[in-house]
Amino acid sequence: MPKNRRAPRTARVLLPGAVAVVLLAGCGQGSGEAPSPAGPASPAGTSAGGTPSASGAPATATPSPAGRPVADTLLVTDFGSDTVTFVDPARGATGSVEVGTAPYGLALGEDGRAWVATAEGVAVVDTATRKRIALVRYETATGPATTGEYRGGGMGIALAPDGRRVYVGVNVPGGNGALEVIDTAALRVTDTVPVGRRPFDVDVSRDGGEVYATNHDSFDVTVVDAGTLVPRRVEVAPYGTEGGLGSWLKPHYTAVRPSDGKLLLPFEGERLAVVDPRTGRTTVEPMTADTHQHGTTVTADGTLLTVGTGPIDPDEDEGPSLTVRRPDGVERVYPLDGPHEDVAVSADGRTAYVTGGFTRDGFWDGLSVVDLESGDTRRVPGRWGSSSSEPRGAGADPVSAGAGR
């Protein structure tokens, strides 16, 4: 059974280097469903809009004109270099676009525009021309645009299913955050909704009727009615709230389960909080990776993928990993080498792309490419101009580590 532990404050923590990842083009029309890494077929799904969401959400395929396979192309935010980078999993980075200070989450529309949450505003990137075409400033006062784990500005971000609105979680240092609503045609903020502290992740229900802001420092998810914009707080704290801002056992990223719209929040490789956003009720299921967990996505059949960043307590916890959890709860854990943060999965369900990150033990701005059938893992550089896919020391990154969780 999961431990009811209280974590030491000297634990290893992760500050994103490469933060979020989406798939711009995936394997083309192929021979049908791919076998799941842990059992029956589990082809990758899409978000409600058919596109990836901010948190490394389900990858979507772009077929080639004749139905022939095309190479995957990934878009990754790099918190430390103020860019988004285009990555070919076979060759590494192929180019980058400067988007603004400390980019965090990103969302990709069917029109090829990427929406990137930065400290300054939401950058809009044309992925065809590889240029930033706009910057939508926040209405919420967040202070100067800075870097570091606790910097103000955008964090989680997601697109409405119809592509008409972008929802971005805005962190306000020292206080509660806001969910800002952006009109994608007018390129302006139209509404602001109060949410909890440090909205790490933002997700949208498959019908577009609700928006979910996962608030790291207030142990909760804010459920927002997309029509009325009325917010409702749902506490998600399977370990309790003891320790407050000093606690390590807080929510990070959420996936919306396609079958019933429930929210899936992994904690510490030990507990999966399953939240019904309609009733606010949470049930807890055991997990097996025993590692501090961050980035999360789910495929169309309900297979959950979540990234383990490393141990809270090195004496008893496991290192970095990728967990693939079938809908029946059976898990396969793939060990990873070094810091990781977020994940996307190829359209055929055979490959996971896991972004690097930053911990007190080191920094890495590449990606791990994981073959989900064989378990083979290889690394590719994730920063444009980088010639090495090996991890670098903590002093090599311009990001300020802070003391976060």
In a domain, 9, yes or no: no
Closest to 116 (Cα-Cα) out of 23, 209, 21: 21
Q: Tokens 């059949």 label which residue?
A: 301
What is the percent of the chain with per-residue pLDDT over 90, rounded to a whole number?
A: 67
Rounded-to-integer distance, Cα 148 and Cα 140, Å: 19
Q: Taking 60 as the threshold, does the pLDDT of residue 235 lie above it?
A: yes
In a domain, 270, yes or no: yes
Give the pLDDT of residue 72.
Answer: 82
| Interval 280-334: pLDDT, tens | 999 999 999 999 999 999 999 999 999 999 998 889 999 999 999 999 999 999 9
Rounded-to-integer distance, Cα 317 and Cα 99, Å: 37
217 SS3 class: helix
Q: How confident is the model at residue 262 (pLDDT cuts 50, 70, 90)?
A: very high
More confident residue, 384 or 326: 326
Residue 219 CA, distance from chain mean position? 18
Stretch among 162-171, 181-190, 242-251, 322-331 having the lowest mean pLDDT:
242-251
Q: Taking 60 as the threshold, does the pLDDT of residue 14 lie above it?
A: no
Give the pLDDT of residue 50.
Answer: 29
Q: Which two tokens stand for residue 104?
A: 């965090």
Domain span at residue 374 reads 18-394
In a domain, 404, yes or no: no
In a domain, 178, yes or no: yes
Q: Taking 80 as the threshold, does the pLDDT of residue 11 lie above it?
A: no
CA angle 209, 218, 213 (to 5 degrees): 20
- pTM comes to 0.84
Sheet holding 18-25, edge to edge: 18-25, 73-78, 83-88, 92-98
For residue 129, the domain's CATH number is: 2.130.10.10
Give the pLDDT of residue 365.
Answer: 81
Average pLDDT in the chain? 82
CA separation, residue 282 to residues 119, 228, 307 (Å): 32, 25, 22
Q: What is the Rg, in whole angstroms, of the alpha carbon atoms belonging to the chain?
A: 19
In a domain, 399, yes or no: no
φ, ψ for residue 246, nearest 5 deg: -85, -5
Give the pLDDT of residue 70.
Answer: 43
Closest to 139 (Cα-Cα) out of 155, 129, 151, 153: 153
In a domain, 37, yes or no: yes
Rounded-to-integer distance, Cα 74 and Cα 354, Å: 11
Beta carbons within 10 angstroms of residue 70's beta carbon: 16
What is the percent of the chain with per-residue pLDDT over 70, rounded to a whole number?
A: 78
Q: Where are the alpha helices (DSSP H) in 38-100?
A: none
In a domain, 333, yes or no: yes
Q: What is the mean pLDDT of residues 366-395?
A: 72
Give the pLDDT of residue 246.
Answer: 85
Total of domains in the chain: 1
